[in-house]
Amino acid sequence: MATDLLEKLRQMLLDMHHSGRLSHIEPGLYEDARAYVEKLKADYYGLKNPLESRAGSLLIEEIGSVTDTVQEIFSVRTRQILDLAFQQMEGQYFDKEEARKMLPAERAMYEQIVDAIEGCRETLVHGVECPFGVEGAAAAGRMDGVDEAREVPGPEGSEAAHRRTVQSPYALVHILSDMESFMGVDGRTYALERGDIVTLPENNADVLCESDIALNIRLNK
């Protein structure tokens, strides 16, 4: 199943690049890929010594391959949907059969893009005030809020930003020897070499330090 799924995804991506048009994909494609990646992660953590085993390295490679391929499929399809939206807005030929190949989430994105383009054109070209409606105003408000949050000065703003971004304890470590790539408890894949100074989840950092593969750097004032 592993090889079948990955090969299926790669062939699908290859066909997308060759055709240049939006193609039909199975509605459960993304769900199947997510479920398979979760299974691979469970297999990885089920190994006795995943950091030191060949099986662990192979699992990490496959997780990365599946994840990267799915992301590329999403990127290609999104660019194709953007092209369709521009074609419709410019009054060019619009293939309805191609539009029917969108997934429900993609169609919702497509409709929002068309509405946003039309609203922006009405505002800039025709001078129509606030054509975006409630949703557009709310989106603009959210973007303004992001800019304001970035400009909050002082320790209170910094502390709030720190609380939002830090979700689990991490440790700063110095890598003492080369190692195979591994997946951290945060779901990220780490490829480290001797001499690297990196921030790792504490659980992973503790394992590496106990094995004398890394040295915990404690920053004390």
Query: What confidence tens digit (pLDDT) does each residue in 176-208 have?
Result: 988 888 888 887 888 888 888 788 888 888 889
pLDDT at 30 over 90: yes
State how far the Cα of 179 lies from the Cα of 84, in Å rounded to an integer.
Answer: 46
pLDDT digits (tens, 9 = 90+) for 50-73: 877 888 888 888 888 898 899 899
Q: What is the mean pLDDT of residues 147-157?
A: 42
The pLDDT confidence band at residue 3, using thresholds 50, 70 and 90, is low
pTM greater than the 0.85 cutoff: no
Task: DSSP for 130-156, please give it.
Answer: -TTHHHHHHHHHHHHHHHHHHT--HHH
The H or E element containing residue 89 is helix 54-89
Of 116, 113, 111, 94, which is closest to residue 22 (Cα–Cα)? 94
Tell me the two tokens of residue 117: 């383009």
Top pLDDT among 150 and 115 is at 115
State how far the Cα of 36 lies from the Cα of 178, in Å rounded to an integer.
Answer: 29
The overall average pLDDT reported for the chain is: 77
State how far the Cα of 102 lies from the Cα of 183, in Å rounded to an integer.
Answer: 33
For the CA atoms of 137, 138, 141, 147, the dihedral, rounded to the nearest 10 degrees, stands at -120
Fold classification of 2-131 (topology level): Methane Monooxygenase Hydroxylase; Chain G, domain 1 (1.20.58)
Domain layout of the chain by residue ranges: 2-131, 139-166, 168-216
State how far the Cα of 143 lies from the Cα of 140, in Å rounded to an integer.
Answer: 5
Contact in structure between 112 and 52 (CB atoms under 8 Å): no
CATH code of the region 168-216? 3.40.5.50
State how far the Cα of 221 lies from the Cα of 207, in Å rounded to an integer.
Answer: 26
Mode of pairing for the β-strands spanning 170-175 and 197-201: antiparallel
